[in-house]
Amino acid sequence: MSKDIATPTRTKEILEKYGFSFKKSLGQNFLIDTNILQHIVKASGMGEEDAVIEIGPGIGALTEQLAKAAGRVEAFEIDRRLLPILADTLKPYPHVTVHHQDILQADLRPLLEELRMSGKTAVVGNLPYYVTTPILMGLLEQKLPVDRIVIMIQKEVAERIAASPGSKAYGSLSIAAQYYAEVTQELVVPRTVFMPKPNVDSAILRLDVRSEPPVEVRDEAFFFTLVRGAFTQRRKTLWNNVQNSVMNKTYKEELQNLFSEIDIDPIRRAETLSIEEFALLSNRMYPMWK
Ligand code: SAM
């Protein structure tokens, strides 16, 4: 049996064999620590009946560990140069399929629907840093039939996604992600377990996709417009941001009455509002806005 792909010696051997050079623009930092990989696999909760879609397999370090646990792995890699390498490194795992495709262009719905017929589904990836948010929000906003998303991303972004009201990291990204999923930060991962070593530390996030949102909103588009608008200038009050960035200074009096009716103090800052308070405010403001 050959050594795991993720060991530093085997990774170096593979890279040398194929004369592979890293492309920084594609966020290519490969994992060289099997303990971290196993943590990701465990967090995915996938077993023999289940299927995983992997984003960016690289030379197959995480793919291999996923293949040892799950019944099927479908991996999407944008870099054509990695295809012959993956065909070689993943030869022992016939239940892995590699797709040469940009994950942002892929229509994952039909694939996930098919995979879900036999078991649970997860989307997993050690994500390229340059597109973390578009990838994650794309997956969530499409409301795909997926049970769990487990991603390794830049630590600061993970903190923003998992943040609670009242904390510095809490913002529109926290609310957007938590509207679609229950978010848990699993583990902080030092930069030393990657080749080449990036300039930032990472963290593993687990997102259990909700079957229903945690709050009832009358209009999702307006809810998110309000949330984004409320955080436009973090140092300003909720009142200022809502007036200037959401309502274009209209309905001033009505808005004042509304704030007092629902008992939300307009001099608060957006970062103190819970998702429930944003839902309440957006549901009451919606008739003024539409
Ligand atoms: N999974 C491997 C590991 O953990 O060692 C590689 C992770 S590396 C951080 C990110 C991978 O995503 C690279 O292989 C890169 O080529 C690939 N990638 C970058 N942008 C992508 C995209 N838009 N769609 C699919 N794969 C992408």
Reported ipTM: 0.99
**pLDDT per residue of the chain (290 residues) written in tens, 0 to 9:** 578 999 999 999 999 999 999 999 999 999 999 999 999 999 999 999 999 999 999 999 999 999 999 999 999 999 999 999 999 999 999 999 999 999 999 999 999 999 999 999 999 999 999 999 999 999 999 999 999 999 999 999 999 999 999 999 999 999 999 999 999 999 999 999 999 999 999 999 999 999 999 999 999 999 999 999 999 999 999 999 999 999 988 889 999 999 999 999 999 999 999 999 999 999 999 999 87
Distance 273 CA to ligand 1 centre (A): 36
Task: Compute the distance from residue 261 Cα to the ligand 1 centre, in Å.
Answer: 50
Ligand 1 pocket by C-beta < 6 Å: which residues? Answer: 26-31, 55-58, 61-62, 76-79, 82, 102-104, 126, 128, 131
Q: Is 77 annotated as belonging to a binding site?
A: yes
Q: Which two tokens stand for residue 230?
A: 């409320």
Q: Does the annotation list 126 as a binding residue?
A: yes
Pocket residue to mutate for ligand 1, from 7, 44, 79, most atoms within 8 A of Cβ: 79
CA-nearest residue, atom 18 of ligand 1: 56
Q: Report how far apart, in Å, the C-alpha atoms of 126 and of each of 75, 116, 172, 178, 203 are.
A: 12, 22, 23, 20, 10
Ligand 1 centre and the CA of 50: distance in Å?
22
Minimal CA–CA distance to 209: which of 118, 278, 108, 141? Answer: 141
Flag whether 50 is marked binding: no
Q: Is 108 in a helix, a strand, or coil?
A: coil
Take residue 225 and report the two structure tokens written for it.
């417009």
- HSE-CB at 70 with a 13 A cutoff on CA atoms is 35
Q: Look up residue 71 and give its DSSP letter.
A: S
The rounded distance, in Å, linking the Cα atoms of 132 and 151 is: 9
Cβ burial, residue 260 (10 Å; 0-12/13-18/19+) = exposed
pLDDT at residue 290 in the model? 79
Cα of 23 vs centre of ligand 1, distance in Å, is 10
Atom of ligand 1 lying closest to residue 56 CA: 12
Q: What distance in Å separates the CA atoms of residue 284 and residue 222, rounded to the nearest whole number?
A: 11
35 labeled binding residue: no
pLDDT of amino acid 113? 97
CA of 128 to the centre of ligand 1 (A): 5
Residue nearest to atom 11 of ligand 1 (CA): 56
Q: What is the pLDDT of residue 1?
A: 56
